Amino acid sequence: AQKITQTQPGMFVQEKEAVTLDCTYDTSDPSYGLFWYKQPSSGEMIFLIYQGSYDQQNATEGRYSLNFQKARKSANLVISASQLGDSAMYFCAMRGSGNTGKLIFGQGTTLQVKP
Amino acid sequence: DSGVTQTPKHLITATGQRVTLRCSPRSGDLSVYWYQQSLDQGLQFLIQYYNGEERAKGNILERFSAQQFPDLHSELNLSSLELGDSALYFCASSPRGGFHEQFFGPGTRLTVL
């Protein structure tokens, strides 16, 4: 069965510093996709970044980068130069098996950015 | 703004009632997904439609049903509501043939009293 694990329930980071949010996954499918979403206190789910299992390079989107280590089955999110607005819940998700885009989510990590 | 719209934003109802949640995907997106977010279960996939056809089913209760209409909007029907159905219900959409993007609507917060 496919599974996503986020072991950090809560994290603190100082403003302007970088932070890494951990995500490990388990799947037997050779083809899969990994996503990160941000959920601020207002509740919406904001798509941040995507990494495909066959992508040769780590995905980057502005201040977000995904540290993809296939052999270790990890897909950590790195946020550079943290801002106060980065305070939110962050979810790692994996696209399920088969010809479907359904997502399996981890339990989330709450990030608080300190001024 | 993701381009996915959901109505209503909030819904308060009583046990045993039936409600309908509505979702309009981003323009051009053919896939619609429904997810439930609750404190005890986290974020769970419920069901996916692609161009009007059911594509995948997750942990969706028999009391729940969904459909996607010819104009691609989707509705999630929840019946015989129980206290435990209180949750945030998200709709998401992704483009044709594209599983590398999935954009979420703002959600409908359902409270069952």
The owner of tokens 């044709």 is: B96
What distance in Å separates the CA atoms of residue B86 and residue B40, rounded to the nearest whole number? 11
What distance in Å separates the CA atoms of residue B30 and residue B39, rounded to the nearest whole number? 30
What confidence tier does A1 reach under pLDDT thresholds 50, 70, 90? confident
In one-letter notation, the amino acid at residue B37 is: Q
Residue A105's alpha-carbon distances to A75, A94, A111, B19, B98, in angstroms, are 13, 7, 17, 26, 19
pLDDT of residue A98: 74
Q: Do A102 and B48 touch (CB under 8 A)?
A: yes
What distance in Å separates the CA atoms of residue B33 and residue B45, rounded to the nearest whole number? 8
Q: Which of B43, B49, B91 is the best residue to mutate to test the A interface, defined by the most A CB atoms within 10 Å of its own CB?
A: B43
Length of chain A: 115
CB pairs under 8 A between A and B: 63
pLDDT in tens, B11-43: 999 999 999 999 999 998 999 999 999 988 899
